Structure 1
Amino acid sequence: MLVMATKPARSLRDAGQEWLLACTDQPTRVRRAWNADRLAPFDTGTHWRVVEAPLLMTLHAMRRIGSARLGPVLADAETDLAWWLVHSQLDDELDDIRQLTVRPAGWVLKCPPVLSLLGGRTWLERPDGTGRLTDPVLLGAAFGPGGTRLPTEVPA
């Protein structure tokens, strides 16, 4: 008997999407935007902060960090940018990493639904519903001088 692999994707979408919707005080507004094929605005600061980086460097950093330790990462191919979601109490951990721009609390990130490409944006690492965010220390190490190889990474 052939079993279709649609159940895991649906579960991921549901869990990740519900988590993302829990990160806004206007879930109805977000759903309406998505239903109209528009990006939805998420105010940052309460649930998570955003760290902006060049897209190509983000792809390399994601590999260095490893998928087991990544939080959600949103990308925009048209602007060549990516946004990492990190904990909301981010202090000055990333201030010395010139490739990264730490967006202030209250900055608006426009997001597509979890499993969709919309407006040139897609999730490189999707929200999975657990609330896991990228550790700023790991992010800084991956973007730091020479793109430091993290000690637990296995060479390709």
Structure 2
Amino acid sequence: MAHLMSSALQYEAGDTWLADCGERPALVRAAWDEERLALVVSGARWLVAESRLTRGWPAASRLRDSPHGPVLADPDADKMFWLVPLDAAEELSDVRHLVVHSAGWSLSCPPTGRQVDGRFWLWRPDGSGDLNDSARIAAAFGPRDYRPEAEALA
């Protein structure tokens, strides 16, 4: 019984933190109460680094035993969303299998303790505000690769 209470408190701490990251926490909670995904806009506390699930899952397995932040998975869309610090865009810009969305990008989030519309937290927010370390993510995705589209833009 104590474990169930402890899990409930952890989920609540994560939900509170995540809802407070939104511009209107009450709307985030209302969406969750209605079993819908809630839109949480990035840029106030974190950015979103997006990968395909098929690329992100192996990277996540390499990070499993080290400190990490929240990661949202959407198997139906073959996507993973890594919550990263506001200054992560430059450090992750040349990681081949990641796209860092700019501030103002909306992430459709379930609450921390349950799945909604196929999305679930692989590593849920715990209320601490801890995010994924950019250098660790870059290392987990492998060596920095040549990107032919970058040359085409030059």
DSSP 3-state at the match of 2:21? coil
Aligned to 1:85: 83
Cα distance, 1:78 vs structure 2: 0.7
Aligned to 2:30: 32
Aligned residues: 144
Cα distance, 1:99 vs structure 2: 0.5
For structure 2, which runs of at least 5 residues remain unmatched after alignment?
145-154
Mapped partners of 2:7, 2:16: distance in 1: 14
Aligned to 1:153: none
Mapped partners of 2:128, 2:25: distance in 1: 18
% identity of equivalent residues = 41
Cα distance, 1:95 vs structure 2: 1.1
Kindly report the root-mean-square deviation, in angstroms, between the aligned alpha carbons of the 2 structures: 1.5
Match of 1:74 among 69, 72, 75: 72
Q: Structure 1 pair 57/38, CA: closer, same or farther in 2 (3 Å)?
A: same
Aligned to 1:151: none
Mapped partners of 2:121, 2:60: distance in 1: 12
Match of 1:23 among 21, 24, 36: 21
Which consecutive aligned stretches of 4+ in structure 1 deviate over 4 angstroms post-superposition? none
Q: How does 1:30-109 map to 2 (within 5 A)?
A: 30-109=28-107
Aligned to 1:12: 10
Aligned to 2:152: none
Cα distance, 1:96 vs structure 2: 1.0
TM-score for the superposition, normalised by structure 1 = 0.87
Q: State the one-letter code of the partner of 2:36.
A: R
1:85-141 per-position Cα deviation (integer Å, ceiling 9, x unaligned): 001122411111110011111000000011110011000001011111000010001
Mapped partners of 2:105, 2:42: distance in 1: 5
Is the contact between residue 62 and residue 70 of structure 1 (CA under 8 Å) also seen in structure 2?
no
TM-score for the superposition, normalised by structure 2 = 0.88
Is the contact between residue 32 and residue 110 of structure 2 (CA under 8 Å) also seen in structure 1?
yes
Is the contact between residue 38 and residue 119 of structure 1 (CA under 8 Å) also seen in structure 2?
yes
Higher share of residues assigned helix: 2
Mapped partners of 2:52, 2:5: distance in 1: 33
